[in-house]
Amino acid sequence: MGDRIVAVGDLGPYTAGRIIDATGLVVAPGFINPHSHTHDDQLNPFIERDAKASLMQGITTEIGGVDGRSPVDVGAFLAQLAEEGTGVNFGLFIGQGSVRAHVMGWSPGPAGEAQLDEMKRLVREAMEQGAFGVSTGLEYQPGSFANQDELTALVAETAPYGGIYSTHMRSEGDRVVEAIEEALAIGERAGVAVNLSHLKIVHHRNWAKEDEVIARIEEARAAGLRVFADVYPYRAPDYAVNRPLSEWAGVLPPEYLLIVDGASADLHGLTVAQAADRLGVAPPAAAAELMARYPSVRVVALVSSESAMHRFYRADWSVISTDGEAQPKLETAAEAMRYAFHRRSYGTYPQIFGTLVREQGLLTLEQAVRKATGQVADELGLKSRGYLKAGQYADIVVFNPETIADRTTWLSPQEYPEGIAYVLVNGHVVVDEGEWKGGRHGRPIRRGE
């Protein structure tokens, strides 16, 4: 029983080898990240097997194989992960793009009957080995080559197992409504729950679509389809981090373009609109003036709608995710920026509790804890994680609600957070009084565990 919670409340005659004084702190289940890239690629040099970046922000369980990319042999992958060890508990979806590449390579067009049968067999095999469902990355090849019928046929193979359809949709921008309709239709036709991955609305011209997006989701739920979405709290996706200003100058207004490199140091950290004021030029001319003076100027494009993100978080169908990975901490912030590392891998959960809960009051503390723990476990079908009760695995985070804070910035994306005092994984203390103790105490997990 050393890895599980034995009792909660007045422990009476029980004693412990160590007692942690949590007076004034929040004791919560370890955070469950439903959209992770931590162990997707065992050869990626920018993955930390101990998962320090995840654990230091309170994450104890992550689900990968997302965006249509995964190992095709789920059983072999989980066995390898058990042998190598992992800092976090880790499970995964089977990626439709990877399955299609395995069977068809990068051939466009619909699958033939024999090809589809082989892909369906691989999906069934993955589900037997513990996959949580099928994921897609429909903005990426070769997954994008599949039509709705092909996708539905694959996803339907997960229905007898209680699988989930987790989708990076075909569009998060100009055709976001149509993309949501496709995802919901696949889930309904296949008879499975739908997870809308890292839900967002991108590009300024599309931000007004939030009412329609929310209406489509809530109509489907009212009709009986189980739908949920994971959301991360940053307005720049990875493809909008540390990019040439020339790529974005005509796409976003200057107040949504943050200068991070390539200009004079006093302009770094300012928006293009703020830089215009400092340079004494009108905001519409600021981008051209900056590029003329600093040809290598680079920006972070705040391309996602903040209003939509806030409304998504307030909805009862949303949960918290990072869409990141446990990156090793590089020596300097400049080096991390050069690789366009994203703040979400170090700061997501502290950003939620420090900014959206404490500073903005967008969510209550209780709502945020649930969206990071039990609600995720319920949606994913995890039976032994996500709650603090007897019999659950002892995955626990203890944090100070008054001081928890995301210390990352767009200029320094790899900073460990403040305010997280203790993190336990399967009963082992890996963060102790805010200090990293480490150890690979996580485990591979399978659907239903």
Q: Is the pLDDT of residue 46 over 80?
A: no
CATH fold of the domain at 26-235+304-436: TIM Barrel (3.20.20)
Condensed to tens digits (0 to 9), the pLDDT of residues 154-204 reads 999 999 999 999 999 999 999 999 999 999 999 999 999 999 999 999 999
> Average pLDDT of 51-74?
97
CB environment 361-389: b (16+ within 10 A), e (fewer): ebbeeebbbbbbbbbbbebbbbebbbbbe
pTM of the prediction? 0.97
Condensed to tens digits (0 to 9), the pLDDT of residues 386-407 reads 999 999 999 999 999 999 999 9
Question: What is 425-446 written as a DSSP string?
Answer: ETTEEEEETTEE-------B--
Condensed to tens digits (0 to 9), the pLDDT of residues 254-281 reads 999 999 999 999 999 999 999 999 999 9
Condensed to tens digits (0 to 9), the pLDDT of residues 126-156 reads 999 999 999 999 999 999 999 999 999 999 9
Give the start-to-end residue ranges of the domains of the chain.
26-235+304-436, 236-303
- For residue 42, the model assigns a pLDDT of 56
Alpha carbons 200 and 169: distance in angstroms, whole number = 10
- For residue 44, the model assigns a pLDDT of 61
Q: Which helix (H) or strand (E) holds 399?
A: strand 396-399
